[in-house]
Amino acid sequence: MSILTWARTRSPWLIHFNAGACNACDIEVVAALTPRFDVERFGALIKGSPRHADVMVVSGSVPRKIRDRLKRIYEQMPTPKFVVAVGSCAISGGVFQDCYNVMEGVDKIIPVDAYIPGCPPKPEAILDGVVKLLMSAGY
Amino acid sequence: MSIEEHTKIVEDLVKEFGEENIYNTKVPRAYRAFAHVKREKLRDIVRYLKEEHGFVHITTISGVDMRENYEVVYHLRSEGFSFSLKVPVPKDDPKVPSIVDILNGAVLYEREVNDLLGIFPEGHPDPKRLILAYDWPEGVHPLRKEWDIQTIREKVDGKRWGKDVE
Amino acid sequence: MSEREFVIPIGPQHPALKEPESFLFTVDGEVVVDVEPRIGYNHRGIEKAMESRNYIQNLYITERVCGICSNAHQTAYTGAVEEVGGIEIPERAKYIRVFMQELERIHSHLLWLGVAAHEIGFDTMFYYVWRDREVVMDLLEEVSGNRCNYAMATVGGVRRDLPRDKYPKWHKMLDKLAERTNYYIKVASTEKTILERAVGVGYLGKEDMIRLSGSGPNARSSGVPCDIRKLTPYLIYDEIPFEHIYVDNGDVLGQVLVRTLEVVEAVKICKWVLDNIPEGEIAVKFNPLQRLPEGEAVYLVEAQRGELIHYTISDGRNMPYRHKIRAPTLGNIPSLVERLKGGYIADIPITIAGIDPCFSCTDRMAFYDEGKDKTWTWTDVELSKYRKEWYSR
C-alpha cells in the first residue's frame, strides 16, 4: 500500500460533534479515551478543529437548527475524510422517530462510512467500529 | 410544614383578592396547591405572594392548550411549597402580562411559551425566538392542538414524510 | 458600547464545550462585558411526541431526554403519573429507586469533576477521576445491565430486583469510591494550581442567586439551601439520615466542594439502603391500555444538576393530555449569564462547565457598528470577497 495510506490509517485524528444528542453517546465516546479503554493505542487523538481531523464522529438525532452547522463542519474537513455515526439516533432517529423537529438519521445530511448501533454503544463497541473502519481503509 | 398551614396560605390569598379573582382552589396534599387566577390580577397576586409569603422562586411556566381556551400555568415555590397559578387566556387574544420585573428568573420561560404556543408576554424586555429554528415559519406553534406531526412537516418541509406515510 | 468592544461567538462546535451551545460574548480587551445565550440546538419536539404515546411507551422517551440524568427523569415521570392515578408503589420499590438515583448522582458528579479538571488544563486529574468512575459504571452495569439509560423504573414500581448475595461486593465498591473521593476533596482544596484557577472565578452572591431562581449545586455553592430532598421529601428521603450540603464560596471552588461532598453523602445513602431494604414485591401491575382518572400533578425531584419538574395533565385516556418537562439547566442560565460578566475570556470554559450544563446551542458571526447603530452578519461569500480585497492591496 502507498505510504500515504500507511500514514493516514495509523494515526487517524478524530473530531467529535454532538448533533443534538442526549449526551449518553457522547460520554461513551469520551470514555473511550480514558485509561481503561484507551483509543489512543490505535493512534487516534481527539482534536478541536475540523481542519485538523480525518474522521468525524457524530452522535445525535439531528434537529432542524443544527443541520446547516453539521454540513458546514463536514465541508471544512480536508479530504480524505470519513464519518462515523454513533448510536441509534444518528442511524435512523432512534426513539425520536415521530418528532416534528428531528431529521431522521445523519446520512440524510452527509455521507456516512460506518454505523455503530446501540443506545448508547459501549466504548468497546465504539473501538471495534473505529478499528473496522481503519481495516477497510487499508490498515 | 403541614397541609393545614398550606391551606391557610391559600385561604389568606383568597381573602385578600376576592373569590372572583381566585377560584377553583385545590390543596391535594401537603406541599402542593393549584388555583385559577384572572389575567388582569396576575401581577398583583405574584407580587403579593412574593412579598408576604416568600414565594421568591419560579420553577417554570407551562402553556397548555385546553380546547376552548389556552391556560398559562405559573409554578411558584417557597421552601418546598409549590403553588401553581393557572391563567386562562382566550384564543382570539393570546397575550399575558410579563412578570420578569417581579421575578427575574422568568425571562427564558416566557420566551419558550411564546415560541411553542404563541402567547405573547407584554412588557418582556427581549421577546425573541428562543428554541425554534431561525428558518421556522411564523405562525406555526407546534404545541397547539390544531397541529400534528404530519401537518407540521407539510407546512415546514413542503411534504409529508416518515415511516407511516409511504 | 464603546469603540473598543467587539463581539465573539463561541459555539456550537468548540473544543472547550462538550455540547452544542452558543454564546455571543461582548468583550472589551480581555474582559467580558455582556453575554447572550442562544439555545435550541437540542430541541427535538419531545413534549408533542408524548401526547400520542401511551404511558408505558413514554417511559422510553423520557429517559432519553438526557443521558446523564436519565434516572432522574424517570423518577419524576413515574412519580407524577402515579400521583395522578392514585397508584401506591411497594416499599421495596421506593428503596430501589433511591438506590439507582444516588448511584447516578455519583456517576454524574465524578464525570463533572473530570470534565472540569480538563477545562482548567489539568488532564492528569481528568484521567484519574474517569478511571475511578469506572467502579460506579461497573456497579450500575451489574444492577441494571447498561452503563447509561438503565430503564429500571416503571409505572407501579421497578422492573428488576437487587439480588441479596451481591451486597458484600457492592459495599466494597462503594467504600472504594468514598476513599477516592475524599482524596480528590483534599487535592481540590489544597493544590495551588487548582486554587489559582478556581478561587474568585465566576462569583455570584446569595441574594443574586435567589433573585435569579437558580437551583441545584449551582445555587448551593452560593449559600442557598435548596435541596429538594430536604425541602419537600419524596420517596423515602425523609427517613434517611444525610447532610444538607451548602457552602458560601460562590465561585468555582464552591461548585467543586459541593459536588464532591455530595458524592460522599450519596455513598452513605446507598450503603444505608443496602442495609435497611425490606423484603416484598417490586411492582404493582400496570397495563399499557389502562386509563388514568382525570387530574393533574406536579412532581419535583432533585436531579444531579438542579430542580427538575414534571407536570402532567390527564383527561381520562391512556395517553397524557399534556406533559411538561423543565430541565434544570434552563433555570440556571440567567445565573450563568451573571457569573460570566466581569470575568476574563480565558475563564469562560470553566465558568460554563462549572454549572454543569446539559443543553445545546449555535451561532453566527455578528458585527455591531457603533456609529450607524446597525447589526448585521456576514455570509460566506462576503467573507471571501473581503479576504480577496484585503490581500490584493
Please name the residue of chain C whose CA is at the shortest distance from the CA of residue B62: C324
Whole-number pLDDT of residue C220: 92
Chain B contact for C309, CB < 8 A? Answer: yes
Chosen from A61, A62, A65, A96 to mutate, greatest number of chain B CBs within 10 A: A65
Task: Verify that B17 and B71 share a domain, yes or no.
Answer: yes
Supply B68's cell numbers: 376552548
DSSP structural state of residue A54: S
What backbone torsions phi and psi does residue A98 show, to the nearest 5 degrees? Answer: -105, 35
Q: Which of C41, C67, C111 has the CB atom closest to A66's CB atom?
A: C41
Task: Verify that B127 and B137 share a domain, yes or no.
Answer: no
Q: Which of B133, B152, B156 has the CB atom closest to A65's CB atom?
A: B133
Task: Verify that B114 and B150 share a domain, yes or no.
Answer: no
Query: Using CB atoms, which chains have 3+ pairs under 8 A with B?
Result: A, C
Task: Verify that B98 and B48 share a domain, yes or no.
Answer: yes
Q: Which of A64, A97, A99 has the CB atom closest to B133's CB atom?
A: A64
Task: Tell me how crowded residue C191 is: count the other CB atoms within 10 A of its CB.
Answer: 13
**CB within 8 Å: A47 and C42:** no
Which residues in chain C are closer than 8 Å to B149, comparing Cβ atoms?
A: 48-49, 52
Task: Verify that B67 and B121 share a domain, yes or no.
Answer: yes
Q: Which of B135, B142, B163 has the CB atom closest to A100's CB atom?
A: B142
ipTM of the complex: 0.91
Task: Verify that B7 and B46 share a domain, yes or no.
Answer: yes
Whole-number pLDDT of residue B1: 65
Chain C contact for A99, CB < 8 A? Answer: yes
For the entire predicted model, the pTM comes to 0.89
Whole-number pLDDT of residue A44: 83
Which residues in chain B are closer than 8 Å to C311, comparing Cβ atoms?
A: 60, 62, 73, 75, 84
Q: Which domain holds residue B161?
A: 132-166
Q: Which of C49, C307, C334 has the CB atom closest to B104's CB atom?
A: C334
Which residues in chain A are closer than 8 Å to C60, comparing Cβ atoms?
A: 95
Task: Verify that B120 and B140 share a domain, yes or no.
Answer: no
CATH code for the domain in which residue B14 is found: 3.30.460.80
Task: Tell me how crowded residue C176 is: count the other CB atoms within 10 A of its CB.
Answer: 14
Task: Give exposure, C323-347, as e/b (b: 16+ Cβ within 10 Å).
Answer: bbbbbbbbbbbbbbbbbbeebeeeb
Domains: count for chain B = 2
Distance, in Å, from the CA atom of C176 to the CA atom of C198, rounded to the nearest integer, reads 27
All residue ranges of chain A with pLDDT < 70 are 1, 139
All residue ranges of chain B with pLDDT < 50 are none
List the domains of chain C with CATH numbers. Answer: 5-41+334-391 (no CATH), 46-331 (1.10.645.10)
Contact A79, A17 (CB under 8 A): no
Task: Name the residue ranges covered by the structural domains of chain A.
Answer: 3-133
Whole-number pLDDT of residue C366: 30
Please name the residue of chain C whose CA is at the shortest distance from the CA of residue A26: C18
Long-range contacts of the stretch A2-9 (C-beta < 8 A, 24+): A5/A137, A5/A138, A6/A138, A8/A54, A8/A80, A8/A137, A9/A134, A9/A137, A9/A138, A9/A139
**CB within 8 Å: C41 and A101:** no
Q: What is the 3-state secondary structure (H, E, C) of chain C?
A: CCCCEEEEEECCCECCECCCCEEEEEEECCEEEEEEEECCCCCCCHHHHHCCCCHHHHHHHHCCCCCCCHHHHHHHHHHHHHHHHCCCCCHHHHHHHHHHHHHHHHHHHHHHHHHHHHHCCCHHHHHHHHHHHHHHHHHHHHHHCCCCCCCCEECCEECCCCCHHHHHHHHHHHHHHHHHHHHHHHHHHHCHHHHHHHCCCCCCCHHHHHHCCCCCHHHHCCCCCCCHHHHCCCCCCCCCCCCCCCCCCCCHHHHHHHHHHHHHHHHHHHHHHHHHCCCCCCECCCCCCCCCCCEEEEEEEECCCCEEEEEEEECCCCCCCEEEEECHHHHHHHHHHHHHCCCEHHHHHHHHHHCCCCCCCCCCCEEEECCCCEEEECCHHHHHHHHHHHHCC
Whole-number pLDDT of residue C9: 79
Task: Verify that B116 and B142 share a domain, yes or no.
Answer: no
Q: Which of C267, C318, C320, C262 is nearest to C290 (CA)?
A: C318
All residue ranges of chain C with pLDDT < 70 are 1-3, 11-18, 359-393
Which residues in chain B are closer than 8 Å to A97, comparing Cβ atoms?
A: 162-163
Q: Say how many CA atoms lie within 13 Å of C63 toward its Cβ.
A: 20
Task: Verify that B77 and B137 share a domain, yes or no.
Answer: no
Strand partners, B120: B95
Task: Verify that B122 and B155 share a domain, yes or no.
Answer: no
DSSP structural state of residue A50: G
Task: Verify that B137 and B126 share a domain, yes or no.
Answer: no
Chain A contact for C149, CB < 8 A? Answer: yes
**What confidence tens digit (pLDDT) does each residue in B88-122 have?**
999 898 999 999 999 988 988 998 888 888 899 99
**CB within 8 Å: A65 and B152:** no
Distance, in Å, from the CA atom of A102 to the CA atom of A93, rounded to the nearest integer, reads 7
* Residue C106: alpha-carbon gap to chain centroid: 12
Task: Verify that B101 and B154 share a domain, yes or no.
Answer: no
Chosen from A14, A26, A28, A34 to mutate, greatest number of chain C CBs within 10 A: A34
Chosen from C207, C298, C362, C364 to mutate, greatest number of chain B CBs within 10 A: C298
CATH code linked to domain A3-133:
3.40.50.12280
Whether the bond between C278 and the residue before it is cis, its omega within 30 degrees of 0, is no
Chosen from B46, B57, B61 to mutate, greatest number of chain C CBs within 10 A: B57
